[in-house]
Amino acid sequence: TRASAPLQAASDAYLLDTSDLTIEQACSDAITYIAKIRKDEA
């Protein structure tokens, strides 16, 4: 959706920045990162 587009872009950029980590670790970090963004927006 339009509202989630910035979050998607941020998560994509974050995953690219952490490509040296394992997929599992990167996903875990991205989930935490996105949760923090959403909490800050609330």
Per-residue pLDDT of the chain (42 residues; tens, 9 = 90+): 677 777 777 777 776 665 566 778 878 888 999 999 999 887
| Domain edges within the chain | 5-41
pLDDT at 35: 94
- 29: tokens are 């970090």
Rounded CA-CA distance 30/13 in Å is 10
pLDDT at 20: 64
- 37: tokens are 């963004």
Per-residue CA distances from 20 to 13, 31, 42 (Å)? 13, 17, 31
pLDDT at 13: 72
pLDDT at 24: 82
